[in-house]
A and B are shown apart, each in its own frame.
Chain A
Amino acid sequence: MEDTTTREAAWTRPPGGPHRQTVRLRVDGRDRTLEADTRTSLLDALRDGLGVMSPKKGCDHGQCGACTVLLDGSRSLACLSLAVAVDGSEVTTAAGLPTDGHLHPVQQAFLDADGLQCGYCTPGQVCSAIGVLAEAAAGHPSHVTADLDADVVLDAAEVSERMSGNLCRCGAYVGITEAVLRCASDAAASAASDPAAGGAR
C-alpha cells in the first residue's frame, strides 16, 4: 500500500502515457477535473481524487450498495464504474441533494422514519431510494410486480425488492422501507393535486 503522500502526488501528476487520462465530471453541480490512472473506479475518483466523501466504500465489488450515486440521473454503483468510462457524466451524491440548506424530501423522510442507525450506508440508501421512486413513477416493474402489463404501485414488498441492492448492517430496513413508502405516497398525492407535475422526483 502506497503512503498518502505518494497517492496525492499521483492524483496531481500531469497527463501522459497510455495509463492516465483526464476525467471531467459534473459532481453535485460543480464541474470537476482530475487526472486519473485508467484503473481508478468512479468511487475512488470521487473520494480520493475529488474529496467527495458521501459515497461510501463497503465491499468495493457491487454487493453492498454503499457507493450508490445518481449517474446521469440513474442510480448506479460507483465502485464498478471506471472513472475514465464515465468521463463527461453528471454525478449526484447524497451530499449534493440538499437545496438552499434544506434536506431533500427523501433525506428528511429517512430522518423522520428512523431509516438509519450508524449512517454508513445511508448516502447510498438515499440515492437508491430516489432511483426507486423515479423508476416506479416511470412505470418500471420489479421481480414482485404481479402483472407486468399493469401500472406499478409501490407497497412494502415492492420497496424491499427494489432496495435489495443496499445492505444495512444495523438492520434499519423497517425504517428505510417506511421512509420510501412515505415519499411514494407524498409523490402520489402531489401528482393527484397537480397532474402536470408528475410523480417523479
Chain B
Amino acid sequence: MRPFAYVRADDAAGAVATVAADPEAGFLGAGTNLVDHLKLDVERPGLLVDVSRLPLDAVEDVEGGGLRVGATVRNSALAADRRVRHDYPVLSQALLAGATGQLRNMATTAGNLLQRTRCVYFRDVTTPCAKREPGSGCSAIGGYTRYHAVLGASSHCIATHPSDMAVGMAVLDPVVVVLGPGGEKRIPFAELHRLPGDSPERDTVLEHGDLITHVEVPAYPAARNSAYRKVRDRASYAFALVSVAAVLEVTDGRVADVRLAFGGVAHRPWRALAAEELLRGQPATEETFRAAADAELAAAEPQPGNAFKVPMLRGAVVAVLRDLTTAAARAAGTGEDR
C-alpha cells in the first residue's frame, strides 16, 4: 500500500478545497470500498481527507414532501428509517439486499453511490483494465463475464455498477447535491453515473474535488407500491447477477404509472425507459410485462459467459411487476393507501 497522509475534515467546504488542490488527494468515507482497494493497490492516493464525520448524517423531511438524505447517513440507518420503509419500500429493500449487517452499519449513502465495480480484472492489478489504467484494454472481454454488463457496454469496458441502493434510487428520480470547487451543483440522479464509452476510468460525471453532500428524494406517492428484487448466486451477501427496482400504479387494471431500473447488467443503474414507455396505459398483465422487458432487452449484447442474464432479467421484471399488481389490487380492495 502506498503511504498516504490523512486529515479529518472540519467542514465540507474545507474538505473540497483540500482535495481540489491536490491531484493525488481523495475523500474517505467509511472506507468499506476504499480501504479494500488501498490494500489491493487499485487506489493509490497520496492524501485522504476523511469526510465520514461531517454533520451530514440526518434524514430530513423536505417541506412539501420528500426526504433529504445526508451523504454520511449509514446504509443501515437509511434502510431502517420508518419514512423510507413506508413511502419508498423499494429503497429500503434495495439497501437491505446489499452487503451484510456490519457493512451496512459502516457504509454511507454517498459512498455507496460511488462504489466501484467488482470486476475481477479491475481488482487485480496484474491484469490490463482500462477502468484502472486508461487505454490498457479490457481483460473481461473474452474472459470471466458472469458479473458483467449486457447493456450499454463498450469495447473498452464491460464492468457493472455493483450498488443495490443506487438501483433502488434510480426509480425515485432524486437530485444529487454536490459541493465542488466552484460551488454547489444539483445533478439529476439519472445523469450522475456514466456509460463507459472510451473513458471507463470515469464512473460518474463528478470532477476531482466534487463532494456529494445530500441526496434529495422527491415526494412520490406511487412509490408506496414498489419493490426491489435481486437474483444472486447465494441467498445472502452476494452481488447481483441481475436486479430489478420497480414502482407500479394500477388503475382499472391498467398501468397508470411505472418506473423500472435494472442492476447488475450495466455500467450504471439502468433506467428502463423504453419498457416504461411501452407499459404506460397498457393492461397490467404478464404478457404486457414480458413484452416491455423484451423491448428494453432488444439492445442487449451479452458475452458468452453472461447470456443467461437476458432471460433471467426478463423473468425478474415479470415477477416484480406481477407481485406489485397483486399488491395494488389488494390495497385497492382494502382501501389502504398502498
Contact = CB atoms under 8 A, between A and B. Distances in A.
A66 to B, nearest CB: 11
Interface stretch (A8-16, A113-121, A132-140, A185-193): A132-140
Contacts of A149: 85-86
A82 B28 contact: yes
B183 interface: no
Interface stretch (B96-104, B193-201, B212-220): B96-104
B237 A165 contact: yes
A38 B100 contact: no
Interface string B31-43: 1100110111000
Contact of B101 (A79, A80, A145, A165): A165
Interface in A118-173: 128, 131-132, 135, 138-143, 145, 148-149, 160-165
Contact of B85 (A82, A128, A148): A148
B325 to A, nearest CB: 18
A65 B100 contact: yes
A165 B102 contact: yes
Contacts of B30: 80-81
Interface stretch (A25-33, A68-76, A95-103): A68-76
A60 interface: yes
B5 interface: yes
Nearest to B1: A39
A26 B92 CA distance: 33
Contact of B39 (A18, A60, A132, A165): A60
A62 interface: yes
B50 interface: yes
B6 A85 contact: yes
Contacts of B97: 143
Interface in A52-71: 60-62, 65, 68
A103 to B, nearest CB: 22
Contact of A141 (B5, B28, B85): B85
B234 to A, nearest CB: 9
Interface centre among B4, B35, B102 (most CB of A within 10 A): B102
A65 B105 CA distance: 13
Interface string B2-41: 0111101000000000000000000010111001101110
Interface of A: 18-19, 21, 37-39, 41, 60-62, 65, 68, 74-77, 79-82, 84-85, 87, 128, 131-132, 135, 138-143, 145, 148-149, 160-165
18 contacts: A39-B3, A39-B4, A60-B39, A62-B103, A65-B100, A76-B106, A80-B36, A84-B50, A87-B8, A135-B80, A138-B80, A140-B80, A141-B79, A141-B85, A148-B92, A162-B101, A164-B236, A164-B237
Given A38-B5, A38-B6, A140-B79, 9 more contacts: A38-B48, A39-B3, A77-B32, A80-B35, A84-B6, A131-B105, A142-B96, A148-B93, A165-B99
Interface of B: 1, 3-6, 8, 28, 30-32, 35-36, 38-40, 48, 50, 52, 76, 79-80, 85-86, 89, 92-93, 96-97, 99-103, 105-106, 235-237
Q: Which 9 A/B pairs are nearest by Cβ-Cβ distance?
A: A165-B100, A164-B236, A18-B5, A148-B85, A140-B80, A38-B6, A164-B237, A143-B96, A19-B3
